[in-house]
Amino acid sequence: MSGATPKLGVTMTPEEAKGFVDGLNEKVIQRWEERVTRGAFMSQFVEGKLSMSAIKLFFKNWGNFTVEINTLIAASYHKHIGFFKRHSDLLGPLGAKIADEFIHPKPPGHVLVMLQTAEALGLTKDDVLRQPMLPEARAILDFKRALLWEGTVAEWWFSMLTEEPIGHWAAAWFRTLTTHYGFSRSQAVYFSTHEEADLKEHDDGVMGHGSFNRMVMQRILEDGYADVREGYSLEYCAIAAVDLYGVMHRAAVELAS
């Protein structure tokens, strides 16, 4: 990681900012490997040894989470509009990122492909959209909500470093469902859609979500806008988000009957 330490009111050069973001991104990827990829859920799942009850319990909660987290991402446009007015070249990519979630492949967007995969798992719309989430699954959502509404611009955006590992995670899900659990490509479409959205340029130029997030983080540091509350830090916001995704996975293994 770059030797520079982000401080409120102290601007970073583009090179310093990129170095910090890249270094923290490496920590996030490593933490994801430890807490999610090598956790009890994913390590059994990718080998085709995880029970369908655990998979269904996880996706029932994950599907509900995806609907609500996308509305928070949309709300960030309003909440952080002052920052994006200063960086007006980011307004287009931010709008495209949000629109991608709600209109691809058609409105209401990724909800459709999520429900398509949920149906293949034997889950109904009401199972996913109208049932209470496990507390362990709601924890990451409520953490993100608190960062958006009570926290700072920097706290929210640095928590979004998780979108890149989620893209690779989605690829592992798609591969595993179609290899070990008998799913067709169309049944596992939610995961192929999210691999593309988070990692690749797609749909006539929509930037991969992970790349866009890092661009925003770099601008925050170049602005000297690394404002965090006491008890928080940029690294804490990023790493705590990973850990809470890990909690969601662990709960599905422990609570599935």
Q: Identify whether 9 is part of a domain.
A: no
- pLDDT, averaged across the chain: 93
Q: What is the CATH number of the domain that holds 86?
A: 1.20.910.10
Q: Identify whether 7 is part of a domain.
A: no
Single-letter amino acid code for the residue at 47: E
pLDDT tier at 4, thresholds 50, 70, 90: confident
pLDDT tier at 1, thresholds 50, 70, 90: very low
Question: CA 40 to CA 57: how far, in whole Å?
Answer: 15
CA 213 remoteness from chain centre: 10
pLDDT in tens, 192-222: 987 775 555 545 555 677 899 999 999 999 9
Give backbone dihedrals phi and psi of 12, rounded to 5 degrees, phi first. Answer: -105, 150
Q: Is 202 helix (H, G, I), strand (E, B) or coil?
A: strand
- Minimum mean pLDDT range among 95-99, 121-125, 244-248: 95-99
First to last CA, the chain: 43
User: What percent of the chain has pLDDT above 70?
Assistant: 94
pLDDT in tens, 20-33: 999 999 999 999 99
Structure tokens at 31: 């933490």
pLDDT in tens, 157-200: 999 999 999 999 999 999 999 999 999 999 999 999 877 755 55
User: What percent of the chain has pLDDT above 90?
Assistant: 86
Q: Identify whether 169 is part of a domain.
A: yes
Q: Identify whether 33 is part of a domain.
A: yes
What is the number of domains present in the chain? 1
Q: Identify whether 148 is part of a domain.
A: yes
Q: Identify whether 152 is part of a domain.
A: yes
Residue listed under structure tokens 């690749």: 200
Residues in CB range of 41: below 8 A, 6 or more apart: 50, 54, 58, 249, 250, 252, 253
Nearest to 8 by CA among 237, 241, 233, 235: 233
Full residue range of the structural domain in which residue 94 is found:
14-255
Question: CA 103 to CA 96: how far, in whole Å?
Answer: 10
pLDDT at 136 over 80: yes
Q: Identify whether 5 is part of a domain.
A: no
Contact 29, 23 (CB under 8 A): no
Residues in CB range of 179: below 8 A, 6 or more apart: 48
pLDDT value, residue 125: 97
Q: Identify whether 245 is part of a domain.
A: yes
